[in-house]
A and B are shown apart, each in its own frame.
Chain A
Amino acid sequence: MDTGTIYLVIAAILLLVSLVKDRTKTKNALLATGHIALSILPVLFFIFILMSFMQVFIPQKLIANLLGSGNGFFSILLGGLIGSFALIQPAAVFPFAGFLRDYGANYGAIFGFVMIAILMGISTLPLELLSFGKKFTIVRNVLTFVLVSLVGIVFLLLL
Chain B
Amino acid sequence: MNRYKNSLIYIGIALLLWGGVAVFSVPKALLMGSITYDTFLRVIKIMIAVFIIIGLIKVWVHPKHLSRFLGKEAGFKGLLFASTFPIILGGSLFTMFPLLRILREKGASIAAILSFITAWGGKAPLLPLEISFLGVQFAVLRIAVIIPSALLIGIFGEFLIEKWERNSFSPAREN
Instruction: Indicate which residue in B52, B55, B104, B118 contacts A132 across the interface (CB closer than 8 Å).
Output: B104
Interface mask (A53-81 → B, CB under 8 Å = 1, otherwise 0):
10111000000000000000000000000
Contact between B94 and A127, CB atoms less than 8 A apart: yes
Which chain A residues numbered 11 to 45 have a C-beta less than 8 Å away from chain B? 11-12, 14-15, 18, 25-26, 28-45
Interface residues on B, range: 35 or more
- Bound-state CA distance A105–B156 (Å) is 31
Q: Is B11 an interface residue (CB 8 A)?
A: yes
Interface mask (B66-88 → A, CB under 8 Å = 1, otherwise 0):
00000000000000000000000
**Contacts A46-B14, A128-B97, A132-B101 hold; do A110 and B138 have CB atoms under 8 A apart?**
yes
B24 to chain A minimum Cβ distance, whole angstroms, is 10
A107 to chain B minimum Cβ distance, whole angstroms, is 6
Interface mask (B138-175 → A, CB under 8 Å = 1, otherwise 0):
10011001000100110011001100110000000000
Contact between B51 and A37, CB atoms less than 8 A apart: yes
Contacts of A15 in B (CB 8 A): 52, 56
Residue of A nearest to B129 (CB): A94
**Contacts A32-B55, A42-B7 hold; do A4 and B138 have CB atoms under 8 A apart?**
no
Contact between A33 and B36, CB atoms less than 8 A apart: no
Contact between B54 and A36, CB atoms less than 8 A apart: yes
Contact between B121 and A119, CB atoms less than 8 A apart: yes
**Contacts A3-B132, A98-B134 hold; do A90 and B4 have CB atoms under 8 A apart?**
no
Interface mask (B57-72 → A, CB under 8 Å = 1, otherwise 0):
0111000000000000
Contact between A94 and B126, CB atoms less than 8 A apart: yes
Contacts of A118 in B (CB 8 A): 93, 121, 123
Contacts of B54 in A (CB 8 A): 32-33, 36
- Bound-state CA distance A124–B117 (Å) is 13
B157 to chain A minimum Cβ distance, whole angstroms, is 5
Sampled A-B contacts (7; CB under 8 Å): A4-B49, A14-B56, A30-B52, A49-B14, A50-B17, A56-B28, A56-B31
Residues of A participating in the B interface, judged by any CB pair closer than 8 Å: 2-5, 7-8, 10-12, 14-15, 18, 25-26, 28-46, 48-53, 55-57, 89-91, 94-95, 97-98, 101, 107, 110-111, 114-115, 118-119, 121, 124, 127-128, 131-132, 135-136, 139-140, 143-144, 147-148, 151, 154-155, 158-159
